[in-house]
Structure 1
Amino acid sequence: MELWIPITIAAAFFQNLRFVLQKILKGQLSTLGATWSRFLYAAPLAVLFLIGMITIGGYAMPGLNGRFFAFALTGGLAQIVATSLVVYLFGLRNFAVGITLKKTETVQAAIIGAVVLGDRVGTAGIFAIIVSLVGVILLSGPSERPGLRHMFSRSALVGLAAGAIFGVSGIGYRGAALALDGGDSFIRAAVTLAFVTTAQTIGMFFWMQWREPGQARKVLSVWPKASLVGLTGMLGSLGWFTAMAMQNVAYVKALGQIELVFSIAASYLFFGERISRNEWFGMALILSAILILIGLKAPG
């Protein structure tokens, strides 16, 4: 088994656990506050991890350049926006449905690639897109009354937007790691993670001071829970960054759909949320579409 595979599965697990904790925090903090907690407590851990790799692990610091900063800042900004959308979505739909809508990023990437880059989709790809569209329709409206009119509901649009922006974030992080001068996948991922989380923490702090004065103090006041968000967020990001430094983003994101399994378990175990028959069917359709695309993307 290639190393990026278990690393990706671990990253999906920690990311799902982080979203569980953020959903819990959403009851005490604003959307911005719950989002910032993920970066605030992750940044020091990421920096310490990088220092440890250099001082104890004997890794050499890769060379930084303008291309790295451009990719890293783009990916970091996209992640802030996408994470905020997902946290907001948790207030609209149950946990598993929210994560599933976010996970449409794989299907959206195929559509964007066909329109913007002229990538060939093929009959199977078109079928996968149609299947995923039906799944989104089932998830977009009230669980007992799904329908096409709900395709443009707030929850559906927020979930789809989050998925698309997370895709941009992944490309930015892979580009940043590959732009570094020297080093293997692990040190490249550590450098990217330390820089991005630090920049995100500082940037969001000033944004919150402008938009929501006092919210930063609330995040600090709930540090026992918020620090766990930071820890799981750091571990998840380290896994994603390392996997994407080793393998194409499309393959990493495709395997990362295993997060859907974790989200269904979390929805039941942590929140006691009931998933309706239509929602089960909708999630199954989206997962089927994703698996079709994974088959089309897998190296021959």
Structure 2
Amino acid sequence: MTWIFFTFLAAFMQAWRNAFQSQLSKDVNIAGVTLARFIWATPIAIAYLVGLYIWQPVGLPFITVKFSAYVLGASAMQILATALMVKLFKMKNFAVGAGLAKSEALVAAILGVVFFGTELSFLGWIGVLIGGIAVFMLSSKGGVKQLSFATILLGLACGAAFALTSLWVREASLNLDLPFPHRAAWVLLFVIAIQTTVLLIYSSLVDKNTLEGLMQRPKLTLLTSATSCIGSIGWFSAMSLQAVPYVKTLGQVEVFFTLLIATLWLKDKVKIKDMLALILIAVAAILVMWS
């Protein structure tokens, strides 16, 4: 049941990361908010990996072409997914933007079964579908009839990008001949290092104001990076142990934390239907753990 612990850790930290990114997006452009997620994450990932080797010394990873392809694909998709989520924050309120991105679980189930050989039990499929219904309820503006097509499309694109990231992360981890949790930590370090390098080069060449904007908000930038990295440790570890659709469906408990943060800190209004969606997410999480 270790994957359940790591999933709850990831969901809790990701809810805070999204909140910090939402605050940054008010003053920093999309590239800057995306970079804030990674800029301090690499040192944290290195410290985590070193700590694992001190705790349990093992060999170094053997890097294959297949592993490299999965890592590069995951790195690119996560950058795209993060940028799309920031755009969601600018279109709607914080809680709804995060809810739309959680379509990732349903998309991951479909892509996983079709392309990655993922197997889900009957209860698992029911849990994933209920979770999908819940996140679509959170995405509605004033009822199902008033759903914005552009917002739904952007939310699904964001969810699909996150889903591919997760599926490729799991494949990369399974391609390393190392024990858990070292293999997940190596994948995390490679992915974050690539993403940080790409975004720093982009910001230096195309948008120098991005770095200046982050430097003017050091505390918020550090909090975004730290919560993002700790959350990624949880996600990468859980996905090394369990199929992505199960992890991501259980990970929808993040919405509990998200709505609490949105209500108590960001002062967003939570509607009755949001509470119903939370109940459905709870049912989905129970079904996934039971299955």
TM-score range, shorter chain: 0.7 to 0.9
Secondary structure in structure 2 of the residue aligned to 1:58? coil
- Whole-Å Cα distance in 1 between the matches of residues 128 and 65 of structure 2? 38
Aligned-residue offset at 1:125:
5.6
- Counterpart in the other structure of 2:217: 222
| 1:287 maps to 2:281 | yes
Q: Percent identity?
A: 31
- Counterpart in the other structure of 1:185: 180
Q: What residue identity is the alignment partner of 2:60? A: M
- Whole-Å Cα distance in 1 between the matches of residues 61 and 209 of structure 2? 38
Q: Is contact 1:82–1:163 with CA below 8 Å preserved after alignment?
A: yes
Q: Is contact 1:106–1:290 with CA below 8 Å preserved after alignment?
A: no
Q: What residue identity is the alignment partner of 1:215? A: T
Change in 2 beyond 3 A, CA 1:171/1:26? same
- Counterpart in the other structure of 2:40: 41
| 1:165 maps to 2:164 | no
- Counterpart in the other structure of 1:106: 105
Q: What residue identity is the alignment partner of 2:167? A: I
| 1:89 maps to 2:88 | yes
Secondary structure in structure 2 of the residue aligned to 1:185? coil
Return the TM-score normalized by structure 1: 0.84
Aligned-residue offset at 1:180:
1.3
Change in 2 beyond 3 A, CA 1:228/1:132? closer
Return the TM-score normalized by structure 2: 0.86
- Counterpart in the other structure of 2:250: 255
Higher-Rg structure is 1
- Counterpart in the other structure of 2:151: 155
> Unpaired runs of 5+ in structure 1?
none
- Whole-Å Cα distance in 1 between the matches of residues 79 and 72 of structure 2? 11
- Whole-Å Cα distance in 2 between the matches of residues 103 and 85 of structure 1? 13
Q: What residue identity is the alignment partner of 2:262? A: S
Structure 2 counterpart of 1:174, from 146, 149, 170: 170
Q: After superposition, where does 1:1-300 map in structure 2 within 5 Å?
A: 2-54=1-53, 57-112=56-111, 129=129, 132=132, 136=136, 138-143=137-142, 146-148=143-145, 150-152=147-149, 154-181=150-177, 183-281=178-276, 283-284=277-278, 287=281, 290=284, 295=287
Aligned-residue offset at 1:6:
0.9
- Whole-Å Cα distance in 1 between the matches of residues 252 and 130 of structure 2? 18
Q: Is contact 2:108–2:163 with CA below 8 Å preserved after alignment?
A: yes
Q: Is contact 2:100–2:135 with CA below 8 Å preserved after alignment?
A: no
Q: Is contact 1:135–1:285 with CA below 8 Å preserved after alignment?
A: no
Deviations 1:245-283 (A, max 9, x none): 1111122112111111111111111101112334445x3
Change in 2 beyond 3 A, CA 1:272/1:245? same
* Structure 1 stretch displaced more, 58-67 or 80-89: 58-67
Q: Is contact 2:253–2:281 with CA below 8 Å preserved after alignment?
A: no
